[in-house]
Every structure is written in structure tokens, then in C-alpha cells.
Amino acid sequence: MSLREQHPDLLKEVDIDEQERWMTPLVNKVAMGHRPQGVMDRCIIRDDTLRSGINTPGVYANNSIKMVLAEKLEAMGVVEAEVGYPTIPEHIEFVKMLRNAGSKMELGLHTRYYDPDYRTEIQKTIDSGADLVNLVGYWGYIMTNALCPQNWNGDIEGRIGDAVSHARQSGARKIAVGTDYHRLDLVARVVRAAKDAGADRIVVYDVRGWFVPETMAFLVRYVRALAGPDIEIGVHCHDDYGLATINSIEAIRAGALTCDVTINSTGHRCGNAAFEQVVPVLESLYNIRTGLDMTQLTPLSEMVAELYKFPIARNRPVTGPHMYSYGGSHLGGILRGQWYFWENIKAETVGNRRSVSFGSTSLRRGKTAPVTVKIESMGLNPESANIERVFEKLEKLIYEKVEIGEREVEAVIHEIYG
């Protein structure tokens, strides 16, 4: 029997996925209204764990490690990935390894058109066999003085025109252009120059992770107005304020087609938008399709944690062990098998695992209390005088161990009830 049939009143409050993988509150639909014109119902999730992710302090992933991860990404449906820098020989070799292994992913290299030797970087990117020449440059005062002071007040149109033209003439299959977005007058010059030179994609960067969601949406619409309908728009957000996921979502809702993400928010400083958060948010809350196998999200997150030696926080959304770990006052519904009363998206949908533990707040009394529900679920009488003896025994165990598992609770109940 489906959830709709079991709980018809649920439909007054939630919208249930046809496959019963998740549910969303109807008030979301009221608040969002209809999808704005020009906003697509799909998004290309562009993995950057293989490039930006290895900028994480303390992380070194050699090509063998990256190959294991790349194969996992492609198997779950990732079609595009940024895989390194053209000035690092190991990264060039990695592109060749992927090609020799038969990878069909569209591969990009982070190519600095702000560097004085930008033509050499472009050539190395193309010669490696990469599909996308991802041209990255900065023109505002902050970023030029941080990375390339020689470009301050430089020839934006001339540099971008030459970089895109050189890439195209050298055989680039696809060209993206990105910049810093702190001054709209400079952004307008970059976008117009990239469009005139024949770029395929403009990438909106929040390089410092300090834009608010409204800014990201505005910038995507601004770029679209300048670039016209035929150029793709991508987005690349950093997580310094914890806004990278929502900033990416807002950019996509404003019309961005591609979204750079990293698994476990790996990357510079606080990393980038989290792969394992952006995907289920798009799929379940916004009905925007990614084409990815979401059951692999938790295994993927755990794989990166192991390969990059970068542990997952226990309370991390979606893939953290506490996402589906129940204790205290929330236990009743879960013990009755009613996942849908607490989970927005079913644990199995994202490859996670449900677990139950009894802590100090599990010791409350009453007909709906966790221990009472557990006794009932075992076919025993919770009205029996034995229940207080169960509580006494559990109290000692919990105060000694902080929390105990469901099997330990069952053992105590069996012991007391005989």
C-alpha cells in the first residue's frame, strides 16, 4: 500500500515523490510559484573535487587516487569534471590517463588567461586532450592585486579576445570564460568581450564566498542579458559563510546551466558548494534534474573522506551519520517504521543508513515514549509493572555509556520481561 493510500491526510501538507523517495511541504510550492521563464528543468553538475578539491590544506591526491574517484563519478552519471591545471605535469598526465581508460566525461583544465604566459597554458590544455579550456582571469582591484597586479587597468577586451581566439584556432572544443564579479562595469566588459570572441560559456564566480543568494541570482540574470540566449552560464561558489549551496541553487534558479561542486565541500579555505547537498536539493525541492544516481551520494562522500583523509562531520547534511540517526523524543515514529514523519528524503535514496540510539532523553515516560513504543513493537505489554524495572536498568546503562543501541535495549527488555 502506498503512502498516499495509508495516510491520505498527508497530501494536505506534503507533495510525495512518485517513487516515494522524498516529500516536500506544499507551502514550498506556494512560496516559489511557477518556474520563471528561461529557467531550465535540468542542471549539469560539474565535479571540481579532482581540481579544486585537492587545494584542501593537507590533501594530496595522486593520479591513482583521482582515477578511482573519477571512475566512481562517471559511473553515477557525472558528465563533466574539472581535473587540474595545465602547468602541473601530473595533471596533464591525469587527463591522458582518463582518455586512455575510455572516460567519456567532458574534462576541463583551469587555465589562467590573466597570466603573462597565457597562450602556453591554453596550448598545454588543448594538447592534453581536455575538452574545455576554462579561462579564468581577474580585473578588479582586489583580485588583480592578489594574483596578477600587472593586469590592473589592463586591456580586458584585447586579452580575452586573444585568449578565446587562440584557443579556438588551436582546436579547443569548448571555451569558458570567468572573472571576478565585484564591479559590474568590469563584468560587462568581460562578458561582451567573451561573447564577441566566441566563448561558449560564461562562469559566474563567487571567489571569496561572500555573495548573498540575491546577488548570485542577479549576476546570472545580468550575464544573461549581456551574453544573450545562446551562451551557457555556469556558477562556481565558495563556502566561506556557509552559503555556497544556496548561492549555487539561486544561480541555477536564475538560469545557470552548469554548477561546480566538490564532494564534502573540499577546496580552498572552506571549500566549494557541496556535491552531496546541491544534488538532492535540486532534485527533491526544486524538481530540477541532474541525471545522477543519488544512491551513490553517501558512498561517494565516504570514498572522498577516505581517499583525501578528510573526515565527514557526523552532523553533516545528507551524508553524515547523524542525518538518519534517531534518539530521544523522535524515536517513536521511527520505531514504528514511519520514516516519513521525520525524513525529508529517504535514507536509501541518498545511500545513507538509518540508525537508532537511546540516550538520556529516551528515558521519558508515557504512552508515546520511545521505550514504551519499543516494548509494544516487540509484542509485549507496556502497561506491565515490568516497565519500571526496564527503565531502571536502561537508566544505569545510558548514564554509564551516554547512549546505547537498539539491540541492547531489546536485550534489557527480554531480560526483565522473561
What gap in Å lies between CA 23 and CA 18, rounded to an integer?
10
Full set of structural domains in the chain with CATH = 32-307 (3.20.20.70), 325-417 (no CATH)
Q: Specify the pLDDT at position 166.
A: 97
Residue 11: pLDDT band (50, 70, 90) is: very high
Mean pLDDT score of the chain: 93
The larger pLDDT score, comparing residue 405 to residue 258, is at 258
Residue 286 has pLDDT above 80, yes or no: yes
Q: Residue 267: which residues within 8 A CB-CB, separation 6 or more?
A: 48, 52, 53, 55, 56, 238, 239
How deeply is 151 buried, as exposed, middle or buried, from its count of CB atoms within 10 A (0-12, 13-18, 19+)?
Answer: buried
Q: What would the pLDDT profile of 312-321 be if each residue is shown by its tens digit?
A: 999 999 999 9
Q: pLDDT above 90 covers what percent of the chain?
A: 75
Q: Specify the pLDDT at position 206.
A: 97
Phi and psi at residue 22, in whole multiples of 5°?
-160, 170
Residue 38 has pLDDT above 70, yes or no: no
What are all long-range contacts of 333-342, with beta carbons under 8 Å and residues at least 24 apart? 335/370, 335/373, 335/374, 335/377, 336/373, 336/377, 340/3, 340/7, 340/10, 340/23
| Range with lowest mean pLDDT among 147-151, 242-246, 286-290, 357-361 | 147-151
Residue 204 has pLDDT above 70, yes or no: yes
What gap in Å lies between CA 10 and CA 25, rounded to an integer?
10
What gap in Å lies between CA 291 and CA 251, rounded to an integer?
19
Strand (E) positions, 154-282?
174-179, 201-206, 232-237, 258-261
Average pLDDT over residues 205-223: 97
Average pLDDT over residues 227-236: 97
The pTM (predicted TM-score) of the whole model is: 0.93
* Beta-carbon count within 10 A of 19 CB: 8
Residue found by looking up cell 564566498 in the block: 209
Residue 239 has pLDDT above 70, yes or no: yes
CA torsion sign for 360, 365, 366, 372 is positive
Strand (E) positions, 215-257?
232-237
Residue 385: pLDDT band (50, 70, 90) is: confident
Q: What would the pLDDT profile of 334-376 be if each residue is shown by its tens digit?
A: 888 888 888 999 999 999 999 988 888 888 888 888 888 888 8
Average pLDDT over residues 290-301: 98
Q: What would the pLDDT profile of 66-99 be if each residue is shown by its tens digit?
A: 999 999 999 999 999 999 999 999 999 999 999 9
What gap in Å lies between CA 166 and CA 198, rounded to an integer?
11
Q: Specify the pLDDT at position 369.
A: 85
Residue 214: pLDDT band (50, 70, 90) is: very high
Q: Specify the pLDDT at position 368.
A: 81
For residue 208, which of 132, 158, 146, 274 has the smallest C-alpha distance?
146
